[in-house]
Chain A
Protein backbone atom coordinates (compact mmCIF):
# COMPACT_ATOMS: atom_id res chain seq x y z
CA UNK A 1 0.00 0.00 0.00
CA UNK A 2 1.36 3.41 -0.89
CA UNK A 3 2.24 5.61 2.06
CA UNK A 4 4.11 5.19 5.33
CA UNK A 5 4.00 2.18 7.60
CA UNK A 6 5.88 2.07 10.90
CA UNK A 7 5.92 -1.12 12.95
CA UNK A 8 7.30 -1.67 16.46
CA UNK A 9 9.57 1.37 16.48
CA UNK A 10 11.55 1.90 19.69
CA UNK A 11 14.41 4.32 20.17
CA UNK A 12 16.58 5.42 23.07
CA UNK A 13 19.24 8.05 23.66
CA UNK A 14 21.49 6.41 26.23
CA UNK A 15 19.23 5.33 29.07
CA UNK A 16 16.37 7.55 27.98
CA UNK A 17 13.70 5.68 26.04
CA UNK A 18 12.06 8.22 23.69
CA UNK A 19 9.95 5.93 21.49
CA UNK A 20 8.33 2.81 22.82
CA UNK A 21 6.94 0.25 20.36
CA UNK A 22 5.31 2.87 18.13
CA UNK A 23 3.17 1.74 15.20
CA UNK A 24 1.46 3.90 12.63
CA UNK A 25 0.19 3.90 9.09
CA UNK A 26 -0.49 6.74 6.67
CA UNK A 27 -2.05 5.87 3.31
CA UNK A 28 -1.14 8.13 0.36
CA UNK A 29 -3.24 11.30 0.43
CA UNK A 30 -3.86 11.20 4.17
CA UNK A 31 -2.48 13.37 6.95
CA UNK A 32 -1.69 11.96 10.37
CA UNK A 33 -0.73 14.20 13.28
CA UNK A 34 1.48 13.09 16.13
CA UNK A 35 0.37 15.08 19.13
CA UNK A 36 2.24 15.10 22.40
CA UNK A 37 4.22 17.15 24.88
CA UNK A 38 7.77 18.35 24.28
CA UNK A 39 10.32 15.57 24.59
CA UNK A 40 7.85 12.74 23.95
CA UNK A 41 9.75 11.53 20.88
CA UNK A 42 7.61 13.10 18.13
CA UNK A 43 10.52 14.71 16.31
CA UNK A 44 12.66 11.60 16.79
CA UNK A 45 10.06 9.61 14.89
CA UNK A 46 10.21 12.17 12.09
CA UNK A 47 13.99 12.04 11.98
CA UNK A 48 13.92 8.24 11.84
CA UNK A 49 11.39 8.28 8.98
CA UNK A 50 13.53 10.82 7.12
CA UNK A 51 16.65 8.72 7.59
CA UNK A 52 18.45 11.35 9.66
CA UNK A 53 18.95 8.74 12.39
CA UNK A 54 19.36 4.98 12.24
CA UNK A 55 16.62 2.72 13.53
CA UNK A 56 17.47 0.73 16.67
CA UNK A 57 14.35 -1.41 16.78
CA UNK A 58 11.37 -1.71 14.42
CA UNK A 59 10.67 -1.23 10.74
CA UNK A 60 9.83 1.75 8.51
CA UNK A 61 8.21 1.05 5.15
CA UNK A 62 7.54 3.70 2.50
CA UNK A 63 5.45 2.71 -0.52
CA UNK A 64 5.98 -0.99 0.27
CA UNK A 65 9.77 -0.63 0.40
CA UNK A 66 11.50 -1.19 3.73
CA UNK A 67 13.71 1.84 4.17
CA UNK A 68 14.77 1.30 7.76
CA UNK A 69 15.20 -1.52 10.25
CA UNK A 70 18.12 -2.50 12.49
CA UNK A 71 19.68 -4.11 9.39
CA UNK A 72 18.61 -1.64 6.71
CA UNK A 73 19.27 2.07 6.37
CA UNK A 74 18.31 3.67 3.08
CA UNK A 75 20.01 7.06 2.94
CA UNK A 76 17.72 10.12 3.23
CA UNK A 77 18.10 11.26 -0.38
CA UNK A 78 16.91 7.88 -1.65
CA UNK A 79 13.77 7.72 0.49
CA UNK A 80 11.83 10.32 -1.54
CA UNK A 81 10.81 12.14 1.60
CA UNK A 82 10.04 15.88 1.81
CA UNK A 83 10.72 17.83 4.99
CA UNK A 84 9.28 21.06 6.28
CA UNK A 85 10.32 22.64 9.56
CA UNK A 86 9.11 25.59 11.60
CA UNK A 87 12.14 27.69 10.70
CA UNK A 88 11.44 27.31 6.93
CA UNK A 89 15.16 26.60 6.26
CA UNK A 90 15.22 28.42 2.92
CA UNK A 91 18.63 29.12 1.41
CA UNK A 92 19.12 32.87 1.98
CA UNK A 93 21.50 33.31 -0.97
CA UNK A 94 19.12 31.73 -3.50
CA UNK A 95 16.07 33.32 -5.12
CA UNK A 96 12.65 31.79 -4.41
CA UNK A 97 12.57 29.91 -7.72
CA UNK A 98 16.10 28.60 -7.11
CA UNK A 99 15.09 27.46 -3.62
CA UNK A 100 12.22 25.47 -5.10
CA UNK A 101 14.28 23.97 -7.94
CA UNK A 102 17.18 23.10 -5.63
CA UNK A 103 16.24 19.46 -5.10
CA UNK A 104 15.06 18.81 -8.66
CA UNK A 105 17.77 16.92 -10.44
CA UNK A 106 17.95 14.71 -13.50
CA UNK A 107 15.41 16.76 -15.46
CA UNK A 108 15.66 19.25 -18.32
CA UNK A 109 16.03 22.86 -17.21
CA UNK A 110 12.69 23.94 -18.69
CA UNK A 111 10.89 20.99 -17.04
CA UNK A 112 12.45 21.89 -13.69
CA UNK A 113 11.38 25.51 -14.01
CA UNK A 114 7.85 24.55 -15.09
CA UNK A 115 7.52 22.22 -12.10
CA UNK A 116 8.77 24.90 -9.70
CA UNK A 117 6.46 27.55 -11.14
CA UNK A 118 3.54 25.14 -10.92
CA UNK A 119 4.26 24.60 -7.22
CA UNK A 120 4.71 28.32 -6.60
CA UNK A 121 1.37 28.86 -8.34
CA UNK A 122 -0.27 26.33 -6.00
CA UNK A 123 0.94 28.29 -2.99
CA UNK A 124 0.14 31.63 -4.65
CA UNK A 125 3.78 32.80 -4.75
CA UNK A 126 4.60 33.04 -8.49
CA UNK A 127 5.00 36.81 -8.34
CA UNK A 128 7.84 36.34 -5.83
CA UNK A 129 9.81 33.86 -7.95
CA UNK A 130 12.81 36.18 -8.36
CA UNK A 131 12.68 37.59 -4.82
CA UNK A 132 14.96 36.50 -2.00
CA UNK A 133 13.80 34.89 1.26
CA UNK A 134 14.69 37.85 3.51
CA UNK A 135 12.17 40.04 1.66
CA UNK A 136 9.29 37.70 2.46
CA UNK A 137 7.08 37.48 5.56
CA UNK A 138 7.10 34.34 7.73
CA UNK A 139 3.90 33.11 6.12
CA UNK A 140 5.25 33.63 2.61
CA UNK A 141 8.48 31.83 3.48
CA UNK A 142 6.46 28.91 4.82
CA UNK A 143 4.49 28.76 1.54
CA UNK A 144 7.79 28.59 -0.37
CA UNK A 145 9.07 25.89 2.00
CA UNK A 146 5.95 23.85 1.21
CA UNK A 147 6.46 24.32 -2.54
CA UNK A 148 10.08 23.24 -2.20
CA UNK A 149 9.16 20.17 -0.16
CA UNK A 150 6.56 19.05 -2.71
CA UNK A 151 8.54 19.88 -5.88
CA UNK A 152 10.38 16.51 -6.13
CA UNK A 153 7.02 14.67 -5.77
CA UNK A 154 7.92 13.00 -2.45
CA UNK A 155 6.27 9.75 -1.40
CA UNK A 156 6.09 11.05 2.13
CA UNK A 157 6.03 14.56 3.55
CA UNK A 158 7.20 15.20 7.10
CA UNK A 159 6.13 18.40 8.85
CA UNK A 160 7.76 19.35 12.15
CA UNK A 161 5.73 22.02 13.97
CA UNK A 162 5.47 23.85 10.64
CA UNK A 163 3.27 26.72 11.78
CA UNK A 164 4.60 27.44 15.24
CA UNK A 165 6.76 30.35 14.05
CA UNK A 166 3.73 32.23 12.71
CA UNK A 167 1.40 34.61 14.52
CA UNK A 168 -2.15 33.43 15.27
CA UNK A 169 -3.92 34.99 12.26
CA UNK A 170 -1.23 33.97 9.77
CA UNK A 171 -1.08 30.49 11.26
CA UNK A 172 -4.77 29.93 10.60
CA UNK A 173 -4.47 31.11 7.00
CA UNK A 174 -1.30 29.19 6.19
CA UNK A 175 -2.51 25.94 7.68
CA UNK A 176 -5.75 26.11 5.69
CA UNK A 177 -3.76 26.73 2.49
CA UNK A 178 -1.25 24.01 3.36
CA UNK A 179 -4.00 21.48 3.95
CA UNK A 180 -5.60 22.31 0.64
CA UNK A 181 -2.29 21.95 -1.26
CA UNK A 182 -1.47 18.66 0.53
CA UNK A 183 -4.86 17.15 -0.27
CA UNK A 184 -4.45 18.06 -3.94
CA UNK A 185 -0.93 16.59 -4.02
CA UNK A 186 -2.07 13.17 -2.72
CA UNK A 187 1.09 12.71 -0.66
CA UNK A 188 1.10 10.83 2.65
CA UNK A 189 1.91 13.39 5.35
CA UNK A 190 3.12 12.97 8.90
CA UNK A 191 2.96 16.13 10.98
CA UNK A 192 4.13 16.60 14.53
CA UNK A 193 2.65 19.27 16.72
CA UNK A 194 2.09 20.02 20.37
CA UNK A 195 -0.98 22.13 19.50
CA UNK A 196 -4.19 20.06 19.91
CA UNK A 197 -6.32 22.54 17.98
CA UNK A 198 -3.90 22.40 15.06
CA UNK A 199 -3.98 18.61 15.09
CA UNK A 200 -7.79 18.61 15.17
CA UNK A 201 -7.91 20.98 12.21
CA UNK A 202 -5.31 19.31 10.02
CA UNK A 203 -5.48 15.60 10.70
CA UNK A 204 -7.41 12.76 9.16
CA UNK A 205 -6.20 10.85 12.16
CA UNK A 206 -4.41 11.82 15.36
CA UNK A 207 -1.93 9.74 17.33
CA UNK A 208 -1.37 10.84 20.90
CA UNK A 209 2.09 10.09 22.26
CA UNK A 210 2.58 10.09 26.01
CA UNK A 211 5.68 11.20 27.90
CA UNK A 212 6.88 7.57 27.88
CA UNK A 213 7.13 7.55 24.07
CA UNK A 214 4.18 5.18 23.76
CA UNK A 215 1.12 5.85 21.61
CA UNK A 216 -1.79 6.21 24.01
CA UNK A 217 -4.62 6.61 21.54
CA UNK A 218 -5.16 6.79 17.79
CA UNK A 219 -8.27 7.87 16.01
CA UNK A 220 -10.27 10.51 14.22
CA UNK A 221 -10.18 13.96 15.82
CA UNK A 222 -13.77 13.33 16.95
CA UNK A 223 -12.78 10.09 18.72
CA UNK A 224 -9.86 11.70 20.48
CA UNK A 225 -11.89 14.66 21.76
CA UNK A 226 -15.13 12.93 22.66
CA UNK A 227 -13.86 9.48 23.62
CA UNK A 228 -10.42 9.93 25.20
CA UNK A 229 -9.35 6.54 26.56
CA UNK A 230 -6.84 7.93 29.01
CA UNK A 231 -6.64 10.82 31.45
CA UNK A 232 -3.56 12.12 29.63
CA UNK A 233 -5.44 12.23 26.32
CA UNK A 234 -8.44 14.00 27.84
CA UNK A 235 -6.21 16.65 29.39
CA UNK A 236 -4.35 17.31 26.12
CA UNK A 237 -7.17 19.63 25.11
CA UNK A 238 -6.97 21.93 28.11
CA UNK A 239 -8.04 22.34 31.69
CA UNK A 240 -10.63 19.90 33.04
CA UNK A 241 -12.88 19.84 36.10
CA UNK A 242 -12.00 16.87 38.27
CA UNK A 243 -13.90 14.92 40.93
CA UNK A 244 -13.12 11.65 42.63
CA UNK A 245 -15.60 9.01 43.64
CA UNK A 246 -16.44 5.32 43.84
CA UNK A 247 -18.54 3.37 41.34
CA UNK A 248 -21.84 2.20 42.81
CA UNK A 249 -24.52 0.50 40.72
CA UNK A 250 -22.85 1.73 37.54
CA UNK A 251 -22.84 5.35 38.68
CA UNK A 252 -20.28 7.76 40.13
CA UNK A 253 -21.61 10.48 42.38
CA UNK A 254 -20.11 13.96 41.94
CA UNK A 255 -21.12 17.30 43.48
CA UNK A 256 -22.82 18.08 40.15
CA UNK A 257 -24.79 14.86 39.88
CA UNK A 258 -24.14 11.25 38.95
CA UNK A 259 -22.34 9.97 35.87
CA UNK A 260 -22.89 6.53 34.35
CA UNK A 261 -19.89 4.26 33.81
CA UNK A 262 -19.29 0.67 32.78
CA UNK A 263 -16.39 0.34 35.24
CA UNK A 264 -16.78 -2.20 38.04
CA UNK A 265 -18.68 -1.36 41.22
CA UNK A 266 -16.44 -0.47 44.15
CA UNK A 267 -13.67 0.92 41.93
CA UNK A 268 -12.16 4.24 42.94
CA UNK A 269 -12.39 6.58 39.95
CA UNK A 270 -11.94 10.15 38.87
CA UNK A 271 -14.40 12.03 36.72
CA UNK A 272 -12.98 14.60 34.30
CA UNK A 273 -15.36 17.13 32.78
CA UNK A 274 -14.51 19.54 29.99
CA UNK A 275 -15.26 23.24 30.71
CA UNK A 276 -18.08 23.14 28.15
CA UNK A 277 -19.48 20.06 29.89
CA UNK A 278 -20.69 22.06 32.89
CA UNK A 279 -24.13 23.47 32.12
CA UNK A 280 -25.39 26.48 34.06
CA UNK A 281 -29.13 26.85 34.71
CA UNK A 282 -31.36 29.11 36.75
CA UNK A 283 -31.85 27.75 40.26
CA UNK A 284 -35.19 26.03 40.58
CA UNK A 285 -35.16 24.79 37.02
CA UNK A 286 -33.32 21.64 38.07
CA UNK A 287 -32.35 19.92 41.30
CA UNK A 288 -28.68 20.66 40.57
CA UNK A 289 -26.47 22.31 43.22
CA UNK A 290 -26.27 26.08 43.44
CA UNK A 291 -23.06 27.71 42.25
CA UNK A 292 -21.54 31.14 42.86
CA UNK A 293 -19.65 32.78 40.02
CA UNK A 294 -16.31 34.17 41.18
CA UNK A 295 -14.93 35.49 37.87
CA UNK A 296 -15.81 35.78 34.20
CA UNK A 297 -13.51 36.43 31.24
CA UNK A 298 -14.67 37.11 27.71
CA UNK A 299 -12.59 35.25 25.10
CA UNK A 300 -14.52 36.53 22.08
CA UNK A 301 -16.93 33.79 21.12
CA UNK A 302 -16.94 32.23 24.58
CA UNK A 303 -16.83 33.27 28.21
CA UNK A 304 -14.63 31.43 30.68
CA UNK A 305 -16.25 31.39 34.08
CA UNK A 306 -14.90 30.33 37.42
CA UNK A 307 -17.54 29.31 39.92
CA UNK A 308 -17.76 27.72 43.32
CA UNK A 309 -20.17 24.98 44.26
CA UNK A 310 -22.45 25.80 47.19
CA UNK A 311 -20.87 27.79 49.99
CA UNK A 312 -17.49 29.50 49.99
CA UNK A 313 -15.71 26.24 50.85
CA UNK A 314 -17.13 24.45 47.82
CA UNK A 315 -15.06 23.13 44.93
CA UNK A 316 -14.01 25.42 42.10
CA UNK A 317 -15.44 24.92 38.63
CA UNK A 318 -13.99 25.98 35.31
CA UNK A 319 -16.81 26.57 32.82
CA UNK A 320 -16.99 27.61 29.18
CA UNK A 321 -20.23 29.26 28.08
CA UNK A 322 -21.40 31.17 25.02
CA UNK A 323 -20.47 34.85 25.05
CA UNK A 324 -24.14 35.83 25.21
CA UNK A 325 -24.40 34.28 28.67
CA UNK A 326 -24.45 37.44 30.76
CA UNK A 327 -23.15 36.05 33.98
CA UNK A 328 -23.30 39.28 35.99
CA UNK A 329 -27.08 39.31 35.68
CA UNK A 330 -27.51 35.70 36.70
CA UNK A 331 -27.05 35.48 40.43
CA UNK A 332 -29.10 32.35 41.09
CA UNK A 333 -27.34 29.65 39.15
CA UNK A 334 -27.08 25.92 39.42
CA UNK A 335 -24.71 23.59 37.56
CA UNK A 336 -25.08 20.13 36.03
CA UNK A 337 -22.96 17.86 33.84
CA UNK A 338 -23.36 17.25 30.11
CA UNK A 339 -22.34 13.55 29.99
CA UNK A 340 -20.95 13.92 26.45
CA UNK A 341 -18.05 15.91 27.91
CA UNK A 342 -17.49 13.84 31.05
CA UNK A 343 -15.04 10.91 31.25
CA UNK A 344 -14.51 8.37 34.02
CA UNK A 345 -11.13 6.71 34.64
CA UNK A 346 -10.10 4.16 37.23
CA UNK A 347 -7.59 5.79 39.57
CA UNK A 348 -5.47 2.62 39.69
CA UNK A 349 -4.97 2.85 35.93
CA UNK A 350 -3.70 6.41 36.01
Chain B
Protein backbone atom coordinates (compact mmCIF):
# COMPACT_ATOMS: atom_id res chain seq x y z
CA UNK B 1 0.00 0.00 0.00
CA UNK B 2 1.49 3.31 -1.10
CA UNK B 3 0.76 6.43 0.92
CA UNK B 4 1.81 9.97 0.07
CA UNK B 5 3.52 11.33 3.14
CA UNK B 6 4.32 14.99 3.70
CA UNK B 7 7.74 14.59 2.05
CA UNK B 8 6.04 14.11 -1.31
CA UNK B 9 3.63 17.01 -1.22
CA UNK B 10 4.56 19.64 -3.82
CA UNK B 11 2.27 22.33 -2.37
CA UNK B 12 0.79 22.71 -5.86
CA UNK B 13 -2.87 21.78 -5.70
CA UNK B 14 -3.25 20.67 -9.31
CA UNK B 15 -0.22 18.38 -9.34
CA UNK B 16 -0.72 17.06 -5.80
CA UNK B 17 -4.27 16.12 -6.79
CA UNK B 18 -2.91 14.23 -9.81
CA UNK B 19 -0.30 12.43 -7.68
CA UNK B 20 -2.98 11.47 -5.17
CA UNK B 21 -5.14 10.06 -7.96
CA UNK B 22 -2.20 8.11 -9.41
CA UNK B 23 -1.46 6.65 -5.96
CA UNK B 24 -5.09 5.61 -5.57
CA UNK B 25 -5.06 3.94 -8.98
CA UNK B 26 -1.87 2.00 -8.20
CA UNK B 27 -3.17 0.98 -4.78
CA UNK B 28 -6.36 -0.27 -6.40
CA UNK B 29 -4.41 -2.40 -8.90
CA UNK B 30 -1.95 -3.79 -6.33
CA UNK B 31 -4.86 -4.52 -4.00
CA UNK B 32 -6.51 -6.55 -6.77
CA UNK B 33 -3.25 -8.43 -7.34
CA UNK B 34 -2.95 -9.21 -3.61
CA UNK B 35 -6.50 -10.55 -3.60
CA UNK B 36 -5.86 -12.60 -6.73
CA UNK B 37 -8.51 -10.60 -8.56
CA UNK B 38 -6.40 -10.00 -11.66
CA UNK B 39 -9.23 -10.02 -14.21
CA UNK B 40 -9.47 -6.24 -14.40
CA UNK B 41 -5.73 -5.51 -14.20
CA UNK B 42 -5.38 -4.89 -17.90
CA UNK B 43 -8.12 -2.27 -18.13
CA UNK B 44 -7.15 -0.63 -14.83
CA UNK B 45 -3.51 -0.35 -15.95
CA UNK B 46 -4.67 1.16 -19.23
CA UNK B 47 -6.63 3.79 -17.28
CA UNK B 48 -3.56 4.43 -15.15
CA UNK B 49 -1.35 4.84 -18.23
CA UNK B 50 -3.80 7.25 -19.87
CA UNK B 51 -4.15 9.30 -16.71
CA UNK B 52 -0.37 9.39 -16.24
CA UNK B 53 0.03 10.73 -19.79
CA UNK B 54 -2.59 13.42 -19.11
CA UNK B 55 -0.71 14.27 -15.90
CA UNK B 56 2.58 14.62 -17.80
CA UNK B 57 0.95 17.00 -20.23
CA UNK B 58 -0.67 19.10 -17.45
CA UNK B 59 2.61 19.19 -15.55
CA UNK B 60 4.67 20.33 -18.55
CA UNK B 61 2.17 23.09 -19.34
CA UNK B 62 2.26 24.28 -15.75
CA UNK B 63 6.05 24.19 -15.56
CA UNK B 64 6.31 26.11 -18.84
CA UNK B 65 3.84 28.69 -17.56
CA UNK B 66 5.84 29.06 -14.32
CA UNK B 67 9.14 29.46 -16.16
CA UNK B 68 10.76 26.31 -14.82
CA UNK B 69 14.22 26.30 -16.48
CA UNK B 70 14.42 22.52 -16.94
CA UNK B 71 11.13 21.85 -18.71
CA UNK B 72 12.88 20.27 -21.71
CA UNK B 73 14.77 17.88 -19.45
CA UNK B 74 11.58 16.97 -17.62
CA UNK B 75 9.78 16.43 -20.93
CA UNK B 76 12.55 14.02 -21.94
CA UNK B 77 12.13 12.23 -18.62
CA UNK B 78 8.40 11.90 -19.31
CA UNK B 79 9.18 10.35 -22.69
CA UNK B 80 11.29 7.66 -21.01
CA UNK B 81 8.43 7.03 -18.57
CA UNK B 82 5.99 6.61 -21.44
CA UNK B 83 8.34 3.97 -22.87
CA UNK B 84 8.48 2.26 -19.46
CA UNK B 85 4.70 2.19 -19.33
CA UNK B 86 4.73 -0.04 -22.39
CA UNK B 87 6.55 -2.68 -20.30
CA UNK B 88 4.03 -2.21 -17.50
CA UNK B 89 1.20 -2.78 -19.99
CA UNK B 90 2.88 -5.95 -21.19
CA UNK B 91 2.95 -7.28 -17.63
CA UNK B 92 -0.69 -6.27 -17.19
CA UNK B 93 -1.71 -8.11 -20.34
CA UNK B 94 -0.34 -11.35 -18.88
CA UNK B 95 -1.34 -10.74 -15.26
CA UNK B 96 -4.52 -12.79 -15.35
CA UNK B 97 -2.75 -15.99 -16.36
CA UNK B 98 0.82 -15.53 -15.22
CA UNK B 99 1.79 -15.22 -11.55
CA UNK B 100 5.28 -13.96 -12.37
CA UNK B 101 3.78 -11.18 -14.50
CA UNK B 102 1.59 -10.22 -11.52
CA UNK B 103 4.63 -9.93 -9.25
CA UNK B 104 6.49 -7.89 -11.86
CA UNK B 105 3.45 -5.70 -12.51
CA UNK B 106 3.07 -4.85 -8.84
CA UNK B 107 6.78 -4.14 -8.43
CA UNK B 108 7.07 -2.01 -11.56
CA UNK B 109 3.95 0.00 -10.80
CA UNK B 110 5.21 0.94 -7.34
CA UNK B 111 8.68 1.84 -8.61
CA UNK B 112 7.24 3.74 -11.54
CA UNK B 113 4.90 5.73 -9.34
CA UNK B 114 7.12 6.53 -6.38
CA UNK B 115 10.67 6.34 -7.74
CA UNK B 116 10.34 7.52 -11.34
CA UNK B 117 7.37 9.81 -11.16
CA UNK B 118 6.62 11.39 -7.79
CA UNK B 119 10.15 11.46 -6.37
CA UNK B 120 11.51 12.97 -9.59
CA UNK B 121 8.79 15.63 -9.50
CA UNK B 122 10.27 16.77 -6.19
CA UNK B 123 13.07 18.29 -8.34
CA UNK B 124 10.87 21.30 -9.07
CA UNK B 125 9.35 21.61 -5.59
CA UNK B 126 11.73 24.45 -4.71
CA UNK B 127 10.86 26.25 -7.95
CA UNK B 128 7.13 26.00 -7.26
CA UNK B 129 7.68 27.15 -3.67
CA UNK B 130 9.60 30.21 -4.84
CA UNK B 131 6.96 31.04 -7.48
CA UNK B 132 4.25 30.94 -4.87
CA UNK B 133 6.05 33.19 -2.41
Q: Which residues of A approach B to under 8 Å, CB–CB?
A: 1, 5, 7-8, 21, 23-25, 27, 30, 59, 61, 64, 66, 204-205, 218-220, 223, 227, 229
Please judge, given known A-B contacts A1-B2, A5-B7, A7-B7, whether A218 and B123 are in contact too, CB under 8 Å. no
Contact of B3 among A1, A24, A218 (CB under 8 A): A1
Q: Given the complex, which residues of A lie within 8 Å of B83, measured CB to CB? A: 227
The answer to whether B115 and A218 have CB atoms under 8 Å apart is yes
How many angstroms between the C-alpha atoms of A220 and B107 in the bound complex? 10
How many angstroms between the C-alpha atoms of A30 and B87 in the bound complex? 19
B110: Cβ under 8 A from any A Cβ:
yes
The answer to whether B5 and A23 have CB atoms under 8 Å apart is no
B72: Cβ under 8 A from any A Cβ:
no
How many angstroms between the C-alpha atoms of A298 and B59 in the bound complex? 53
Residue in B closest to A26 when the chains form the complex, CB atoms:
B115
Please judge, given known A-B contacts A1-B2, A25-B115, whether A8 and B123 are in contact too, CB under 8 Å. yes
Please judge, given known A-B contacts A61-B5, A64-B5, whether A25 and B122 are in contact too, CB under 8 Å. no
CB of B129 to closest CB in A, whole Å: 13
How many angstroms between the C-alpha atoms of A5 and B111 in the bound complex? 11
The answer to whether B1 and A8 have CB atoms under 8 Å apart is no
CB of A233 to closest CB in B, whole Å: 12
The answer to whether B119 and A5 have CB atoms under 8 Å apart is yes
How many angstroms between the C-alpha atoms of A227 and B84 in the bound complex? 10
How many angstroms between the C-alpha atoms of A161 and B87 in the bound complex? 30
Interface residue ranges of B97-133 to A (CB < 8 Å): 107-108, 110-111, 114-116, 119-120, 122-123, 125
Please judge, given known A-B contacts A5-B119, A23-B122, whether A66 and B111 are in contact too, CB under 8 Å. no
The answer to whether A205 and B5 have CB atoms under 8 Å apart is no
B80: Cβ under 8 A from any A Cβ:
yes
Most buried by A among B1, B122, B125: B122
The answer to whether B107 and A204 have CB atoms under 8 Å apart is yes
How many angstroms between the C-alpha atoms of A178 and B33 in the bound complex? 28
Contact of B108 among A23, A220, A227 (CB under 8 A): A220
How many angstroms between the C-alpha atoms of A1 and B2 in the bound complex? 5
Residue in B closest to A1 when the chains form the complex, CB atoms:
B2
Residue in A closest to B4 when the chains form the complex, CB atoms:
A1
Residue in A closest to B116 when the chains form the complex, CB atoms:
A218
Please judge, given known A-B contacts A7-B122, A61-B7, A220-B108, whether A23 and B115 are in contact too, CB under 8 Å. yes
The answer to whether A66 and B7 have CB atoms under 8 Å apart is yes
Residue in A closest to B126 when the chains form the complex, CB atoms:
A8
Interface residue tally for chain B (C-beta within 8 Å)? 22
How many angstroms between the C-alpha atoms of A30 and B115 in the bound complex? 13
Interface residue ranges of B1-50 to A (CB < 8 Å): 1-3, 5, 7-8
Q: Given the complex, which residues of B lie within 8 Å of A25, measured CB to CB? A: 111, 114-115, 119
How many angstroms between the C-alpha atoms of A66 and B9 in the bound complex? 14
The answer to whether B114 and A5 have CB atoms under 8 Å apart is yes
**Leading 7 A-B pairs by shortest Cβ distance:** A25-B115, A23-B119, A25-B114, A7-B122, A1-B2, A64-B5, A61-B7
The answer to whether A24 and B2 have CB atoms under 8 Å apart is no
How many angstroms between the C-alpha atoms of A24 and B110 in the bound complex? 12
The answer to whether A23 and B120 have CB atoms under 8 Å apart is yes
Contact of A59 among B7, B110, B111 (CB under 8 A): B7
How many angstroms between the C-alpha atoms of A8 and B3 in the bound complex? 19
The answer to whether A1 and B115 have CB atoms under 8 Å apart is no
The answer to whether B111 and A8 have CB atoms under 8 Å apart is no
The answer to whether A229 and B80 have CB atoms under 8 Å apart is yes
How many angstroms between the C-alpha atoms of A21 and B70 in the bound complex? 14
With A204-B107, A218-B116 given, name 15 new contacts (CB 8 A): A1-B1, A1-B2, A1-B3, A5-B7, A7-B7, A7-B8, A8-B123, A23-B115, A25-B115, A27-B111, A61-B7, A205-B111, A205-B115, A219-B84, A227-B83
The answer to whether A7 and B110 have CB atoms under 8 Å apart is no
How many angstroms between the C-alpha atoms of A59 and B83 in the bound complex? 29
CB of A330 to closest CB in B, whole Å: 38
The answer to whether A24 and B115 have CB atoms under 8 Å apart is yes
29 A/B residue pairs, CB under 8 Å, sorted by A: A1-B3, A1-B114, A5-B119, A7-B8, A7-B119, A7-B122, A8-B122, A8-B125, A23-B119, A23-B122, A23-B123, A24-B115, A24-B119, A25-B115, A25-B119, A27-B110, A27-B111, A27-B114, A30-B107, A61-B7, A64-B5, A66-B7, A204-B107, A205-B111, A205-B115, A218-B115, A219-B84, A220-B108, A229-B80
